[in-house]
Structure 1
Amino acid sequence: MKRKSLVPPAVAGLLVSALTACGGSDGSGSDGSAIVLGSTDRIEATNVAPAPLDPALAYDFASWSVLHNTFQTLMRLPRSGTEPIPDAAERCGFQDRQSEQYRCTLRSGLKFSNGHALTSEDVKFSLDRVLRINDQNGPKSLLSNVDKVETPSDREVVIHLRAPDATFPSKLTTPAAAIVDSEVYQGDALRKGFDVMGSGPYAAKTEMRGNLLTKVIFTRNSHYKGDLKLKNDKVEMRFFNDASAMEKALAGGDVDLVHRGFSPQQIDKLNRGQVKGVRLFESSGQGIRYLGFNTADPSVKSKAIRQAIAYLVDRQALVRDVYKRTAEPLYSLIPTSVSSHINSFHNEYGDPDPAAARRVLRTAGVTTPVKLTLTYTTDHYGPQTAAEFKELQRQLNRSDLFSVKIKGIPWAKFRPSLIKRQYPAYGMGWLPDFPDPDNYIAPFLTKDNFLNSPYHNSAIQDELIPKTRQEAQRTLADKDFKSIQNTVANDVPYLPLWQENTYVAAREDIIGAEYAFDSSTNLQLQEIGRGVED
């Protein structure tokens, strides 16, 4: 998917303000004025993705930012921390030692924002619906282990899994498990357009221009039954076409908070205090960027070609010259801020080594220069993506071992074409669905992986991933996760490049910016308010 490494402040001292300050008001926003949140994210209805805000299809950070605040799930992540806690549920837990049967009791009196009652049948309907619709671009893989859902009573839900999975409570915190109104949503079809109907803390009204979402207005849901305490009554999320216009709106006070889309140059400007009245908050990130390879494509089918690329890529140059040190080099699919991380790619390939790349190609009998096209999306991962791929092209071509072309494609076309395996090598990003090393491994390496990658390693798929999921105490899975990372480094179906730092820019009267995201980088609108500094 989706989503950055925001380990909450209580966990890792995150989102430290460049100008230290704290809020001294309740930030209720009771004057009725909306807190305006700016973003350059793009949410668009297309032929391939006609329902970008339907939980059965949505699987990207921008859409999930809307869904997390409008829908409830059985479990949610806390304000700070990684252990799931009840949300729509009053209590949940495994009923067996094998972690195969999960039982939840719903809160009493739950309702959707339209006033309809929410019962266990809606929960069953919602989970079954994602699996029944089975959209290849959606989050179905998060629920693929569900065997059946039972509803002994209006408030009781029992979920039977096909195999043990200690991470299942975390999966229930994601919009893949969002509870939808069975009287509004069809059980076997997507709800096209941008209408949203949930039971979360906010009701949402959407505005669009053609097939493009331009604004979401979140208002306090009077029917909400949950333990979240809202620090505002209204939030307006505006989508900008470019970062310059968004910066101008922030500087002028038309926008109160920006959580996505600024360039490294703009971040540096904010960090230096050159935008009056704005504070910048920074944290280490869980979001990663990587190259993916269609290992069945003739141009990269040889492992030696992929290993040669691993020998040549200079991550330090990428983060220094392209991202101006607003990112960190990454040598594993699992980022450094997540448990079980090891620098598997650096251990395997070391610093850039053209001589080693030449040797591995010569030994495999590969004719050079290898012709290759690297494809990236032009409008999904920020304004520096094109510069990043020009730098990658330069690094590979200067070795004389590769003849690389680069090609930029709009996201609306890029994503479905990728699923059809039309690109031999491509650039992608990933933000975690939930904060566990499993979520940086399974989505990429299982049979039903979200990229439709043809790469298959039976030891990883059939032995190691199932074994890690049997460990309720997650540190006991470290050894197997490390083995998986080493195998990925040797086979190179993916090449990790860098991990994001996370930045939030806020006007000085905004409080709660340091809690804008939870440990899985879910947007927590309820934490943002207006106030005065102590």
Structure 2
Amino acid sequence: MNRKTLVLPAVVGLLAPVLAACGGSDNASDAIVVGTTDQFIASKDNPAPLDPAIGYEAGVWNVLRQTVQTLTHIPRGGGEPVPEAAQSCAFTDTENESYRCTLRAGLTFADGTLVTPEDVKYSIQRVLDIKDKSGPVGLLDNIDTIETKGEDQVVFHLKTPDATFPYKLATPPTGIVQKDKYPAKTAREGFQVDGSGPYTMKPEVDGDRIVKVVFTKNPKYKGDLKISNDKVELDLFDDATAMGKALDDKKIDMMTRNMSPEQAQEMLAKPKDGIKLTEMPGLAISYLAFNTEDPAVENRGVRQAMAQVIDRGAIANKVYGSTAEPLYSLIPSGITSHTNSFFNKYGEPNVAGAAETLEKAGVSTPVKFTLHYTTDHYGPATKSEFETLAKQLNDSELFEVDIKGTPWSEYRPAQKKGEYAVYGMGWFPDFPDPDTYTAPFLDKNNFLNSPYRSTAAQKTLIPQSRREADRSAATPAFEKLQDIVANDVPLLPVWQGKQYVASLDGLTGVEWAVNSSADLQLWELGHGNR
């Protein structure tokens, strides 16, 4: 049967969770095979791409989620976190500064070693101690001390109140690891991942990169997840075209990240027999970021003028068609507290207004710089997007820019070292709360290693937003944070994407296998026709 399934959002908790269609497979292997264009490459700058203390990318987290176990997890339909490795977790004070978890009885790692509260403390403390500049430490740096009690309890004492802490404990950086396999102060090099999660994993490596990951059901797993299969293979493809051909040839059962806009548009227009396309709301965003100390863009007026010139609607329509929509804030639509701060401040594209902004700022025109983008991380349409951006800026005659593409393995190290004045990035939410679209960029230890600082954001608004147990009560703080970004423009949001998953008929569980945060949950997949 050829069809497209459109998944409409329903409100649960703070965001619109995702439902999708079921699928199927003619693959002869017992393993379910899932395709991706994510790349995992070990390099001099990043010898440990899959260490939970280092990896801070959606693709890396999608490997870790299958193998390491966290104390809490986000349930199937979204909403507030529930216990996973823990049997119970709760704040023990009214200020949201002390959080206690009790481990499940008999919890072990995949090799049979007992999981203890000391293992939990060790695992999270090493993230704080390693403090990787481009890693996830910012998620956890509000932890003051970690205390263990008895044989099954661990207590987190926080520096300041943080109602989002249970969500953070559901992210892969808090995954429980073994002391004898993960050094306390340094990263575990290579590609192997071990834990107490639903699967064990075995990477197939060619030189410095993974070509396949085989996930096998962990018979010792104890947790909240229900595992619907015995084995899943994650096949890595160089590009979306090769991945699409593998699906057509029934060599894979499902393809996820990153389908090209052209593939999605073609399947929408001409459905294929035996293949279903599932369209779902997306919470991923694309944005430009700035090294605010670089001479080319250190003047705020330059960044504000760019915000006035670029035509987000044209970029979304020309490059991405129906797979993206314009974005006017770091917090996307579908998330509580979203406002169109950039549109409210700058309105429709306005070259004359941008010229006036530059003149008032004392900036000579044309402003010259290079727009940097990564060639192999966010999908095949990235080059076209940056060609369109450059043309818009150059056609204004206020800017003189060129573009340069770089592989991700070189791009990310150069970006965090501050080598790029202006560069493109994408973002998938860490957890379902507006905090994940603001704090990673504006708080200390920010994800981009950006020199930009906002005292109001760091000292007042972020702490204020985290004090609110009722997350809707934090909306005024988030609105002010969005307005600060629109005024100072350390980041320039461009578009918000939709997600598409293509699968063979007969594959079940697709509706749960990828959520709106792009979390891959392979345990949901099953073969309905076998």
Q: TM-score, normalised by structure 1?
A: 0.95
- From the superposition, tell whether residues 340 and 520 of structure 1 become closer, same or farther in structure 2 (CA, over 3 Å): same
* Aligned match of 2:511: 514
Shift of 1:9: 6.5
Shift of 1:8: 7.7
SS of structure 1 residue aligned to 2:216:
strand
For structure 1, which runs of at least 5 residues remain unmatched after alignment? 1-5
* Aligned match of 1:14: 18
Shift of 1:275: 3.0
CA distance in 2, matches of 1:381, 1:216: 20
Q: Which one of 328, 352, 356 corresponds to residue 355 of structure 1?
A: 352
Q: Deviations over 1:298-333 (max 9, x none)?
A: 111111111110000001111111112211110000
Shift of 1:14: 3.3
CA distance in 2, matches of 1:368, 1:391: 20
Shift of 1:192: 0.7
CA distance in 1, matches of 2:239, 2:340: 35
* Aligned match of 1:98: 95
Q: Deviations over 1:177-233 (max 9, x none)?
A: 010012322111211111111100111111011011110111110110112111111
SS of structure 2 residue aligned to 1:324:
helix
Q: Which one of 401, 404, 423 corresponds to residue 426 of structure 1?
A: 423
For structure 2, which runs of at least 5 residues remain unmatched after alignment? 1-6
* Aligned match of 1:381: 378
CA distance in 2, matches of 1:116, 1:16: 37
Structure 2 residue 487 is matched with structure 1 residue 483? no
Q: How does 1:101-180 map to 2 (within 5 A)?
A: 101-180=98-177
Q: Deviations over 1:410-434 (max 9, x none)?
A: 1111111111111111100000110
For the 8 Å contact 1:435–1:519, the answer to whether it is kept is no
Q: How does 1:487-498 map to 2 (within 5 A)?
A: 487-498=484-495
Letter in 2 for 1:485: Q
Shift of 1:447: 2.1
Structure 2 residue 349 is matched with structure 1 residue 321? no
For the 8 Å contact 2:284–2:517, the answer to whether it is kept is no
Q: Which moved more, 1:275-284 or 1:470-479?
A: 275-284
Q: How does 1:169-248 map to 2 (within 5 A)?
A: 169-248=166-245
CA distance in 1, matches of 2:403, 2:493: 18
Letter in 2 for 1:528: L
Q: Deviations over 1:368-421 (max 9, x none)?
A: 111111111111110011110000000000010000111111111111111111
For the 8 Å contact 1:277–1:508, the answer to whether it is kept is yes
Letter in 2 for 1:167: T
SS of structure 2 residue aligned to 1:407:
strand
* Aligned match of 1:528: 525
CA distance in 1, matches of 2:485, 2:36: 34
CA distance in 2, matches of 1:416, 1:146: 27
- From the superposition, tell whether residues 403 and 372 of structure 1 become closer, same or farther in structure 2 (CA, over 3 Å): same
Letter in 1 for 2:345: E
CA distance in 1, matches of 2:9, 2:41: 30
Q: Which one of 76, 81, 96 corresponds to residue 78 of structure 2?
A: 81
Letter in 2 for 1:114: D
- From the superposition, tell whether residues 7 and 108 of structure 1 become closer, same or farther in structure 2 (CA, over 3 Å): farther
Letter in 2 for 1:369: P
Shift of 1:132: 1.0
SS of structure 2 residue aligned to 1:323:
helix
* Aligned match of 2:38: 41
CA distance in 2, matches of 1:10, 1:110: 34
CA distance in 1, matches of 2:135, 2:111: 26
Q: Which one of 360, 378, 400 corresponds to residue 403 of structure 1?
A: 400
Runs of 4+ in 1 over 6 A off after TM superposition: 6-10
CA distance in 2, matches of 1:368, 1:510: 57
Shift of 1:276: 2.5
For the 8 Å contact 1:99–1:166, the answer to whether it is kept is yes
CA distance in 1, matches of 2:345, 2:114: 56
Equivalences, count: 521
Shift of 1:32: 6.8
Structure 2 residue 309 is matched with structure 1 residue 312? yes
CA distance in 2, matches of 1:299, 1:347: 26
CA distance in 1, matches of 2:518, 2:117: 28
For the 8 Å contact 2:18–2:516, the answer to whether it is kept is no
CA distance in 1, matches of 2:135, 2:320: 30
SS of structure 2 residue aligned to 1:331:
coil
Q: Deviations over 1:134-158 (max 9, x none)?
A: 1112111111111111111121101
Letter in 2 for 1:48: D
The two structures, once aligned, show a CA RMSD in angstroms of 1.9
SS of structure 1 residue aligned to 2:304:
helix
Q: Which moved more, 1:450-459 or 1:470-479?
A: 450-459
For the 8 Å contact 1:8–1:81, the answer to whether it is kept is no
For the 8 Å contact 1:9–1:514, the answer to whether it is kept is no
Structure 2 residue 452 is matched with structure 1 residue 448? no
SS of structure 1 residue aligned to 2:413:
helix
Letter in 2 for 1:91: S
Letter in 1 for 2:311: D
Shift of 1:10: 7.4
SS of structure 2 residue aligned to 1:250:
helix
- From the superposition, tell whether residues 335 and 272 of structure 1 become closer, same or farther in structure 2 (CA, over 3 Å): same
CA distance in 2, matches of 1:97, 1:519: 31
SS of structure 1 residue aligned to 2:251:
coil
Structure 2 residue 471 is matched with structure 1 residue 471? no
Q: How does 1:220-369 map to 2 (within 5 A)?
A: 220-369=217-366
CA distance in 2, matches of 1:376, 1:431: 17
For the 8 Å contact 2:34–2:235, the answer to whether it is kept is yes
CA distance in 1, matches of 2:132, 2:488: 29
CA distance in 1, matches of 2:516, 2:311: 29
* Aligned match of 1:3: none
Letter in 2 for 1:505: A
Shift of 1:53: 1.1
CA distance in 2, matches of 1:230, 1:504: 20
What fraction of aligned residue pairs are identical, expressed as a percent? Answer: 52
